[in-house]
Structure 1
Amino acid sequence: MEIDGVRVHGESGQPVLLLPGGAEACDGFFPGLVEGLVADPGCRVIVHDRPGTGTAADGTLAGAADHLSTLIDRLGCGPVVVVGQSLGGAVGVLLARDHPDQVAGLVLLDPTVINEPRTCAVLERMTRVLGTAAAVPGLRSVLARLLRASVVRSTRRQRLRPDCEAAHLRMANLDIPMLARAVRGITELSRGFREADLPRVPSVVVTADRKPDTAMRRGHTRLAAALGGEVVCWPGATHGVHLDHPDETLATVRDLVTRVSSPA
């Protein structure tokens, strides 16, 4: 079903809002998740490109939470369970902070650590440099070739499920300037972020299989504690945890939806 240009899969059940990482389009980003949630436990899954990502018009990271809140109101489907990966996870956290009544639960898949200002500053600086370089005609093709080669090598190493492999290979078409615009402002947002402002909400933070003393791991642990949720780490999980562990991702979202939907 399509409502005002937004696709909603499923006729009834707990609404689930999908938020892809980076500036990626939502369609096809989470292989098997839409179909799996519609089939069991029976959800309405919202597939939408927030402004500044995918096929949508320009938008800002700072305005993403308000935009999504307006969208949820317009669809009349709140509160939603948010499933967000990477930058989409950070947006989900901001939505929960700024519009807690709109969020029933969170599944954050190796989210960008909006609560780690230094990490966010490095991310914004790096994407700005790459975005500037990619805008130069000669460098654009070089960066595109390097990115494609890196993605292909990574895909071969991981031996992903066919639909997950296809989703991973689509990353080779990354629009670097668009990503830089999508990340713009994250440093300022992070510096103003306070974990104490987060609501207590059913949540799971899935962190990649990295060393416990990394800034990402520490940030994820603090986010989960502030939300009153739990941290999960699967052996061998990478930043693209929804692709290398799709079955576990689906099971985790199903479990959270069941918890949210069950009578107290």
Structure 2
Amino acid sequence: MQSDGVRVHGASGQPVLLLPGGAEACDGFFPGLVEGLADCRVIVHDRPGTGTSAVDGTLAGAADHLSDLIDRLGCGPVVVVGQSLGGAVGVLLARAHPEQVAGLVLLDPTIVNDPRTCALLERMTRVLGALASVPGVRGVLTRLLRASIVRSTRKQHLRPDCEAAQLKMADIDIPQLARAVRGITEVSRGLREPDLPRVPAVVVTADRKPATAMRRGHERLATAFGGRVVSWPGATHGVHLDHPDETLATVRELVGQVNAKA
């Protein structure tokens, strides 16, 4: 089914809502997930302010927008699969509209439960966005970022569809990303972990040292939801691309857990 910028793959089964990282378009962001969840209804959608959406939107308004979308589709509650900033949006949706969320798979999510990290992220993207608005500078920044992503991709030996997805992200729209991140510090300061609902949840964290702020933030999120943390050797921030089979298996396992609970 396709309507108003929303595609729902599959006619029956547990609804699964995909939330890509950054301000990226959802289509093609999660290689193999739509096909691997053939027994589910998979929702592909670019929320306002991201991807190909022509509608302005804010991070603070993302949860209400997605709740309205789920109501309009008549398919709640959903299992949310969110990577990076998409994972943070999934957390915000679960907090604001717990009745709409049946479960969560958060793929190295932005730690929206850590105001200090969010403030740093917002400052960094704001500076990059400002630089990218200077005539001539945007092109230089874009080429530098693209070159860095291409070099990294060549070293990873990714599956062909995952390599294509990562190279697509090399064409990053820096000002759009800065707008997508805007407000995350204030949102983070207003988030209390005890306010998060208990739902089936898996937080996949990259292969990093246990003492890092990201790892600690992920562990706190998992504890708040009553879920678990998993990490795979060599996993990077783009865990859905360097470990696509494990990602699919994790989503399918959580969907099965939700179905068994229903």
With normalisation by structure 2, the TM-score equals 0.98
1:6 partnered with 2:6? yes
Structure 1: state its 5+ residue gaps: none
The one-letter amino acid paired with 2:206 is: A
Q: What is the match of residue 44 of structure 2?
A: 47
Per-residue deviation, 1:247: 0.2
Rounded to whole Å, the distance in 1 between the matches of 2:198 and 2:3 is 31
Is residue 5–residue 46 contact of structure 2 (8 Å, CA) maintained in 1? no
Q: What is the match of residue 235 of structure 2?
A: 237
1:179-190 equivalences under 5 Å are 179-190=177-188
Q: Deviations over 1:166-195 (max 9, x none)?
A: 000011110000000000000000111100
Q: Secondary structure at the match of 2:37?
A: helix
Aligned residues: 261
1:246 partnered with 2:239? no
Per-residue deviation, 1:5: 3.1
Rounded to whole Å, the distance in 2 between the matches of 1:141 and 1:55 is 20
Per-residue deviation, 1:4: 3.5
Q: Deviations over 1:3-62 (max 9, x none)?
A: 343100001000000000000000000001001101xxx000000000000011210000
Percent of residue pairs bearing the same amino acid type: 83
Q: What is the match of residue 157 of structure 1?
A: 155
Q: Secondary structure at the match of 1:106?
A: strand
1:1-264 equivalences under 5 Å are 1-38=1-38, 42-56=39-53, 57-263=55-261
With normalisation by structure 1, the TM-score equals 0.98
Taking only aligned residues, the RMSD between alpha carbons, in angstroms, comes to 0.7
Q: Secondary structure at the match of 1:52?
A: coil
Runs of 4+ in 1 over 2 A off after TM superposition: none
Is residue 106–residue 201 contact of structure 1 (8 Å, CA) maintained in 2? yes
Rounded to whole Å, the distance in 2 between the matches of 1:180 and 1:263 is 39
Q: Secondary structure at the match of 2:64?
A: helix
Is residue 50–residue 176 contact of structure 2 (8 Å, CA) maintained in 1? yes
Per-residue deviation, 1:143: 0.4
Is residue 158–residue 242 contact of structure 2 (8 Å, CA) maintained in 1? yes
Bigger shift: residues 69-78 or 140-149: 140-149
Per-residue deviation, 1:263: 4.7
Per-residue deviation, 1:137: 1.9
Rounded to whole Å, the distance in 1 between the matches of 2:217 and 2:4 is 37
Rounded to whole Å, the distance in 2 between the matches of 1:92 and 1:109 is 10
Structure 2: state its 5+ residue gaps: none
